[in-house]
Copies of this chain bind each other. A is one copy, B any other.
Amino acid sequence: MTANEDRGNARRTQIFKAAAAVFARQGYHRARMDDIVEESGLSKGALYWYFKSKEELATGLVHQMLTHESEALEAVVSRPEPAADRLRFMSATFARDLTESPEKASLTLELLALARTVPEIRECFSSHHEHFVDQISRLLAELRGTRPSSAETRTAALALSALIDGMVLRWALATQPFDLESALRETIDALVQDANTPGK
């Protein structure tokens, strides 16, 4: 029955949202299933009806989050504008999203730590990272006029994506807050300029 499936999906989404909030706030290990139950407005039985365990819930959440993010990234990369603009747009979108809901960075850090211990989660992040590099490679290839699969381009793409992650990490932990968007923009601008410099 589609009606049932719909309700099921709605429930799952509801639970993911609650779990995301609680994990971001308290961390995975300090989050009790009861906290998620309360946050979600459902009952404990319901929660266990949809997810067999806390770990499975976390795994599902990671799947969902990274899928969303990949899709968003792909949407940006596929736009018709010039590559440089798309790069800047991507970075800005990314930064704005996190600035508006900083708990996302927190949550991601938490789930990254969890990835060390839970192979399935690790797999998710690992392939997401690869996908991320692929997309950035496409952009950089256009920008530099190289093939996306060239070693140089992939190295640059890996560097850029690592840079973004590292910047977000520092931003999330910084005691003296700084503006993520401009920090990223300045860096990207410098790199894009290099890319256009003949001889590069």
Residues of A within 8 A of B (CB): 26-30, 106, 109-110, 112-113, 115-117, 122-123, 125-127, 129-130, 155-156, 158-159, 161-167, 169-170, 172-176, 183, 186-187, 190, 194, 197, 199-200
Contact = CB atoms under 8 A, between A and B. Distances in A.
A155 B187 contact: yes
Describe A's contact surface by its main secondary structure. Answer: helix
8 contacts: A27-B116, A110-B113, A110-B116, A112-B113, A162-B169, A166-B167, A194-B197, A197-B199
Given A116-B27, A116-B110, A176-B126, A166 B155 contact: no
A47 to B, nearest CB: 18
Copies per assembly: 4
Pairs of residues from A and B, 5 with the lowest C-beta to C-beta distance, nearest first = A166-B166, A162-B166, A113-B113, A29-B29, A165-B166
Nearest to A106: B116
A167 B162 contact: yes
Nearest to A199: B197
A113 to B, nearest CB: 3
